[in-house]
């Protein structure tokens, strides 16, 4: 039984180089097989065995039919695009041996690099490394939006003594009351006095449009919003405006990424130098 490709031009996408590589490899892999064919393009066949591994476990018959039809349709399109490319491209444009060899070499090197990085690269970054990098590059870490430290609670209206929360917040010694209260009644609770968070991220927990991030806030402020089900409380312990220095706790993830990327670059450079030294000792290469 053969499937016929859709003729809708909007569905036809041509990426010539990748199409040529994928389709030509497909042609080679299908030649000489005696299994049951599911599609044909001229003298190239796609066999049932070739699509047996594309289905997720536990998939329904309806979904498997849809996936199979999509896969077969893409295979046919690739084969047809390949045939048109071979028929219409100038001879010089069809010599892809160098491109394919270069693509394979780059892909193998990339896979090898990723394998070695996964096996041998030290990805543990200590706080002192983050702190040192931060203080050596402090001018690179400027807030592009306000940040705060404080406390956020989302409390059902059925919870008792909600009016006590602002009082507890104003008295730093009563934070333990807030924590105990939140443990019992709060649906959402964040205490971030020792860290910093972007104000926008916190306000996203309020009903949409109820609070503006462009308000004139300062340390000691608190915001209370009530909707039909919940009361939302934000206590601002400290406030940093956009354009001021970014706290190290906010810069930490960016710094980790920078340090890790530097390690990767050094690791790969050292790898290449070691490979060169080893090959040089064996007289494995020379310049002419």
Find, among 187, 179, 284, 177, the residue nearest to 230 by Cα: 187
pLDDT at 148: 95
pLDDT tens sequence across 197-213: 999 999 999 999 898 88
pLDDT at 146: 94
pLDDT at 29: 42
Read off φ and ψ for residue 154, nearest 5 degrees. Answer: -120, 115
Report the alpha-carbon distance of residue 169 to residue 223 in Å, rounded. Answer: 11
- Global pTM reads 0.64
The DSSP-derived string for 198-259 is EHHHHHTTSPTTSS-TTS---TT-EEEEE-SSEEEEEEEEEEE-TTSBPPHHHHHHHHHHHH
Residue 206 and residue 225 in contact, taking contact as beta carbons nearer than 8 Å: yes
Residue 225 and residue 232 in contact, taking contact as beta carbons nearer than 8 Å: yes
pLDDT at 6: 41
pLDDT at 5: 40
In the chain, the N- to C-terminal Cα span, in Å, equals: 59
pLDDT at 104: 92
pLDDT at 30: 42
pLDDT at 173: 61
Report the alpha-carbon distance of residue 256 to residue 262 in Å, rounded. Answer: 10
Low-confidence ranges of the chain (pLDDT < 70): 1-34, 172-173
Question: How many Cα atoms sit within 13 Å of 37 on the Cβ side?
Answer: 18
């Amino acid at each position: 039984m053969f499937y016929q490709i859709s003729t809708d031009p909007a569905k036809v996408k041509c990426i010539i180089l990748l199409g040529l590589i994928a389709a030509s490899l497909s042609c080679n892999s299908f030649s000489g097989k005696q299994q049951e064919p599911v599609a044909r393009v001229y003298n190239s066949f796609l066999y049932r065995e070739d699509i047996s591994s594309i289905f997720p476990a536990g998939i329904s018959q309806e979904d498997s039919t849809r996936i199979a039809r999509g896969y077969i349709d893409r295979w046919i399109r690739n084969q047809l695009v390949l045939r048109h490319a071979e028929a219409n491209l100038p001879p010089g444009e069809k010599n892809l041996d160098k491109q394919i060899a270069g693509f394979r070499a780059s892909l193998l090197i990339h896979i090898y690099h990723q394998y070695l990085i996964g096996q041998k690269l030290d990805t543990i970054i200590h706080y002192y490394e983050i702190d040192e990098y931060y203080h050596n590059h402090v001018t690179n870490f400027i807030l592009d939006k306000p940040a705060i430290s404080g406390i956020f609670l989302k409390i059902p209206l059925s919870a008792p003594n909600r009016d006590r929360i602002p009082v507890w917040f104003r008295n730093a010694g009563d934070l333990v009351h807030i924590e105990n209260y939140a443990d019992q009644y709060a649906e959402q609770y964040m205490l971030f006095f020792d860290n910093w968070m972007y104000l926008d991220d916190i306000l996203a927990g309020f009903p949409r449009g109820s609070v503006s991030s462009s308000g004139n806030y300062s340390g000691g402020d608190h915001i209370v919003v009530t909707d039909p089900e919940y009361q939302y409380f934000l206590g601002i312990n400290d406030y940093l405006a956009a354009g001021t220095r970014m706290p190290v706790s906010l810069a930490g993830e960016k710094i980790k990424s920078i340090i890790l990327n530097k390690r990767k670059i050094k690791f790969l450079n050292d790898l290449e130098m070691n490979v060169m030294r080893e090959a040089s000792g064996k007289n494995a290469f020379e310049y002419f």
